Structure 1
Amino acid sequence: MRARLANLWDSFRSSFWFVPTIMALLAIALALGTCQLDELIARSNRQLSWFSTTAEAARSTLSSVAGATIALAGVVFSITVLTLSIASSQFGSRLVRNVMSDSIADLVIGQYVGTSLYCLLVLQTIREGKNGTEAFTPQIGTAVGLILGLICMGMLILFIHHVATAMQAPTIITAVARDLDLAVDRLFPERIGERPDEETEQNLTTEEIRSELSNNNMTVPSHSEGYIEGIDGESLVSLACQAEGVIELLCKPGDFVTRDKLLARIWLPEQIEKTEDLTISYINSVNRVIIVGPRRTPRQDVGYAARELVEMAVRALSPGINDPFTAMSCIDRLGGSLGRLVERSTPAMIRRDSESVPRVLITRADGFAEVLNQSFGQIREYGASSTAVSLTMLKALTDIASHASRPDDLHAIDREAQALQTAFTSQHAVESDLEQFQSQHQQLLEFLDSND
């Protein structure tokens, strides 16, 4: 349930309707509150000199603020759409999610729509006392409307400044790299925590646990088609406890699944009869735990978070854009994030319940080696022809190696460095470039040998 709520919050955070809706509701509540306060003041026959105004002046002020703010909302919306169009064409459509998440456009639009709605609601309470009706002028309501209008003017200046800075490549690269760092911290925490079964788990593998299970099992096909956006691990362990068995996951976040593709296998005790109703119930429960959607998200998929930086680098290296400096910035950020990743311990592939009984077997998961290959492998394919980009990649690999301690991780870095050397040598004939690359590559090899 927690994973589904987190995934839902991510979709809200990257939308343009959520914040304006909340602010519109707050504007309605504020309008009702100020009108109630004005009525209390009117019944007490008290006069507030600072807020004193006439019905005609109040109507004119509120009408002007309401009309100006709703017009500005249209201007902000137009600028936002233009900004997203530029970001999509220059950096890739998948990065629109990052631009939308970090944009203050939804806050500005919400402020304008909320202010206009507030002024309209307060405006309709004004009465001039004709035909026997009691006169009523919302003095506090008018003053609050004027203050909201002044805030809107300031937010317009803030929005223009934000747009001018948000579309710069370094700003977008920083935002995407922050998503990658958050994914690393979320999926590979610095301290995974001491488990009571730690020593036992070190001597067990998923294959050994699977060999001890009975032949009473059922497969779980997918009910929908799309990308796996997340898996609720806690609910999966609870479901395995309920079944008194073990669930073997055959997929991971980021995988594309088709309808009826196997998602998991449930191993049941021999004494439990596998009836049709029980099978359908467990299959539906697992499908509810595994969240399938139209796109990959970085919530539980660190590979996709790195891929966003890779996409920016690859597009920058295309002949149509030819911007190696943006690619080099992306490589620097990838090197920093992967340097943090290589320091982290890999989460357990065997998840246990509160009594240390194995309940979930994870057969596929992205680790450091997979993310490194997915990141630098694609950039190498398009950037090996550039000396500056290749040297930046070699420097990033050296920085990552300085954080690595496990032999498998050092070998993965060595493989990537050897592949980069092969690609660079095959595309360059200038002796000075080759010498510069070989010198830096030799330093990396010596560092790897000293730590192996």
Structure 2
Amino acid sequence: MRALLFQTYERISASYWFLPSVMAPFAALLAFVLIQVDLRLPPDFYGHSAFLFAAQPDGARAVLSAIGGSMIGVAGTVFSVTMATVVFASGSYGPRLLTNFMNDRGNQVTLGVFVATFVYSMLVLRSVRDAAEGAALFVPNTAVFGAIILALGSIAVLIYFIHHVPSNIHISNVIAGIAHALLDEIGDRFPKDIGEGADDTLTQAHLPDGLNKGLDERTAGTVAILAARSGYAQVIDDVSLMKIAKERDIVIRLSCQPGSFVHPGLVLFTVWPARKVDDDLHDALLATVALGNARTPAQDILFLFDELVEIAGRALSPGVNDPFTAVTCIDWLSAAFSELAGRRTPGAFRMDDDGVPRIIVEPHGFAEYLDHAFGRLRQYAARDRIAGARFIEALTSVVGACGRRIDIESLRQQKAALLALAAEELPEPSFRPIAEAAERFDRAAAQAAARRL
């Protein structure tokens, strides 16, 4: 249930309807409150001020009609501009970046402010009465003044929106936004993960072979929990998973990661011992994984790497030929791996509060992430002199942050692979800067390795 709630929250956060739907009722409530205030104030409360006092109902109607009509017109324009921005981003940067623009609070708040001002103005307009058929004349002066304040605020929001849209689609800001989300995710995930980490060598000896060696579930006394439908794993509820494992006194092996595509027949969990698996446990485990039609950045750190790689790959395509955008992506990737290199990779075994192994995961380490990002970008960077040289310079900048020789070796493998591919793709004059960058990498790697002896 928690996984479904979190997935619903993420979907609402990426929608354009939620904030306007929330702000409109609040505007209606504000209109009702201010009208009630005006009903209780004496007619001469504001004196003879021309600014606060609408002497005639026609004047109040004119003001409210002008504000309401202009707000709904501007709201339509804002929506059109927002949709044009989303289409431009999808075509220029890649369709997977649509989620980033849909999550933008600036666009959502702007649309909500104009809708709320329109709703407020219409409700206040309805309360204005002429002195006819025995009814007393009523002009809600306070509420009309509130509409003017909201209109001025809407103008300020419009000015912000005009600045926000071009700033939001600037490629440097797009890349920086993805990179900051990636850095935050690295900070949150490493070394903390599901439960408390454990020493793999000590814990593995206490687990059945089917869980840590992949043997036949029947001989190991384990049961495989299969996916019931198809989709991408958008949310995995680690808290509920640990709670289930502790309450049922079982060990669970998690066979999927956020962002993995699953389908009926694919193993999601392997549970030991088999005798404790029943229909309730089966359903409870499946409920900890929320599936969707697309990957999202909520828990999927690889998705953030993929977005940067996609932007860089598109920039280096022959139709675009923009190596400096690719260099910006490579720069931020180097920042991410410098942060990742200084952190401990969580172990595969997760412990509960009592120190009992409950969950087995398949964590990715520095080498896996490096190959996922730089490995996929290598084929594009090897064909461009500027991007290729910056590729190796980025690896060199990460060397200094590495605290383990194995991480330095992973960087050296990526350097060698790019160097070999660039030697095939580029003529000698274009290849020379990449070779010189590789020599600088070798010197930096040798010095870093010597410091860690």
Q: TM-score, normalised by structure 1?
A: 0.91
Query: Structure 1 residue 208: deviation in Å?
Result: 5.2
Looking at structure 2, the residues matched to 97 and 49 of structure 1 have their Cα atoms a distance apart, in angstroms, of 53
Contact preservation (8 Å) 1:240, 1:359: yes
- Structure 1 residues 2 and 401, CA gap change in structure 2 (3 angstroms): farther
**Contact 2:20–2:116 (Cα < 8 Å) also in 1:** yes
Letter of the structure 2 residue corresponding to residue 382 of structure 1: Y
Counterpart Cα distance in 2 of 1:249 and 1:413: 29
Residue in 2 that maps onto 1:37:
37
Match in the other structure for 2:234: 229
Provide Cα deviations, 1:167-199, integer angstroms capped at 9, x if missing partner.
Answer: 22111111111221122122225x78996x85x
CA contact (8 A) 2:340 2:366 kept: yes
Residue 248 of structure 1 corresponds to which residue in structure 2? Answer: 253
Which of residues 87, 94, 97 in structure 1 aligns to 2:96?
Answer: 94
Alpha-carbon distance in 2 for matches of 1:49, 1:291: 62
| Aligned-residue offset at 1:3 | 5.1
SS at match of 1:339: helix
2:183 counterpart SS class = helix
Structure 2 partner of 1:52:
53
Task: Indicate the SS of the match to 2:176.
Answer: helix
CA RMSD of aligned residues (A): 2.3
Paired amino acid for 1:310:
V
CA shift at 1:321, angstroms? Answer: 1.2
Q: Does the Cα contact within 8 Å between 2:75 and 2:111 map onto a contact in 1? A: yes
Residue 5 of structure 1 deviates from its aligned partner by 4.1
Q: CA offset at residue 412 of structure 1? A: 1.2
Instruction: Give yes or no for the alignment of 1:311 onto 2:313.
Output: no
Q: 1:424 maps to what in 2? A: 422
Match of 1:46, SS state, is coil
Residues in 2 aligned to 1:187 and 1:64: alpha-carbon distance in whole angstroms: 52
Whole-angstrom CA distance in 1 between matches of 2:366 and 2:11: 27
* Secondary structure at the counterpart of residue 278 of structure 2: helix
| Change in CA separation of 1:331 and 1:17 when aligned onto 2, cut-off 3 Å | same
1:376 pairs with one of 374, 377, 384: 374
Q: Would the alpha carbon gap of residues 295 and 129 (structure 1) be closer, same or farther in structure 2, given more than 3 Å must change?
A: same
Alpha-carbon displacement from aligned partner over 1:97-139 (angstroms, at most 9, x marks no partner):
1122235221111111100000011111111121011222111
Aligned to 1:145: 147
- SS of residue paired to 2:360: strand
Report how far residue 212 of structure 1 moved: 9.7
Count of residue pairs brought into register by the alignment: 439
- Structure 2, unmatched stretches of 5+, are 212-218
State the alpha-carbon separation in 2 of the partners of residues 186 and 230 from structure 1: 16
- 2:367 aligned counterpart, secondary structure: helix
- Shifted more, 60-69 versus 214-223: the winner is 214-223
Q: Which amino acid aligns with 2:438?
A: H
Query: How much identity, in percent, do the aligned residues show?
Result: 31
Aligned pairs (5 A) from 1:312-331: 312-331=311-330
After TM superposition, list the pairs within 5 Å mapping 1:7-406 onto structure 2: 7-42=7-42, 46-47=45-46, 49-50=48-49, 51-53=52-54, 54-102=56-104, 104-188=106-190, 201=199, 203-206=201-204, 209-211=207-209, 215-268=220-273, 273=275, 279-362=278-361, 364-406=362-404
Corresponding residue SS for 2:290: strand
What code does the residue aligned with 1:36 have?
A: Q
CA gap of 1:211–1:236, structure 2 versus 1, over 3 A, is: same
1:221 and 1:283 in contact (8 A); partners too: no
CA contact (8 A) 1:222 1:259 kept: yes
TM-score by length of 2: 0.91
Give the direction of change, closer, same or farther, for the CA distance of 1:36–1:393 in structure 2 (3 Å limit): same
Which of residues 407, 412, 435 is equivalent to 1:438?
Answer: 435
Task: Give the superposition deviation at 1:448.
Answer: 2.0
Distance 2:266 2:210 in 1: 26
Query: 2:417 is matched by which residue type in structure 1?
Result: A
Is residue 102–residue 175 contact of structure 1 (8 Å, CA) maintained in 2? Answer: no
What per-residue deviation string (whole Å, max 9, x for no partner) do you get for residues 315-363 of structure 1? Answer: 111111111111111111111111111111122321111111111111x
| Residue type of the alignment partner of 2:282 | I
Please report how far the alpha carbon of residue 299 of structure 1 lies from its aligned counterpart in structure 2 after TM superposition. 2.0
For the residue of structure 2 that corresponds to 1:303, the secondary structure is helix
Equivalent residue for 1:448?
A: 445
Larger CA deviation: 97-106 vs 230-239: 97-106
Q: CA deviation at 1:95?
A: 0.7
Q: CA deviation at 1:285?
A: 0.6
**Alignment partners' CA distance in 2, 1:340 and 1:353:** 28
